[in-house]
Amino acid sequence: MDCNQLARAATKAGEILLESGAETYRVEDTMKRICFAYGAEVVDAYATPTMLLISFSIHGELCHNIKRTQIKSVDLSKIDKVNDLSRSILESSMSLEEFCFRLEKINQESPYRCRIILLGAAICTFGFAFFFKGTIKDALCAAVLGVALKLLMIQMDRIDFNSFFKYLIGGAFATLCAILTSKLGLCHSIDTLIISVIMLLVPGLAITNAIRDTVSGDLVSGLARTAEALFVAVAIALGSGLVFTLLGGY
């Protein structure tokens, strides 16, 4: 058994999970499971939103690996597949080489198709408009603007746009489009329209994971994710407020 290969495989699995939006405890548990499954002893795994660390001994040899990482997006499909793969090692007597191959195959899978993402954005904003007591006109306008906003965010992701400015521009774009829609008389309530569209940008997963990590005792990850959520919220608010300031209100 190659100690270094096992360390890299466990870290790679943790990296895929973390970059797909998995909780800290899930990342650490998966890394430990992989190491134990291949005969490691005294396994310690540590994960934060920006770093992964694995340490274990196998056949008297001590091995460590550290990986710098970051949360990129939300991909529940990858989380589910890596989670299942790590738990099927013992059942299928999978070799480490085969595990690494299947792990890399999961990592290279394409994200959801653009049309599926846009459809989800339209459905979400359409539903939020009704949730915030909007009319059918507000819901339809929100669905259209939601698709436009999601297209903008996808394009900024492709060019690896700075996170702060990405959400600032997103908040400004949503607010500007909502104001123009209201000026054209296409919606009933501009407030409902703005809130419904901006909900696409709200870091719900980051907030949820921050609370869960904090409750679980992972204070570093909890504070980091809380800071991330606040960072995004400030960017959205600045973008929206900037548009209102430049236009002198609506």
Domain ranges (residues) in the chain: 3-107, 114-247
Q: Is 3-107 assigned to CATH 3.20.20?
A: no
pLDDT tens digits, residue range 67-116?
988 766 778 889 999 999 988 887 778 888 999 999 999 988 877 788 88
Residues of the chain with pLDDT under 50: none
pLDDT at 248: 65
pLDDT at 182: 87
Full-model pTM: 0.78
Strands of the sheet containing 41-48, edge to edge, are: 41-48, 51-58, 61-68
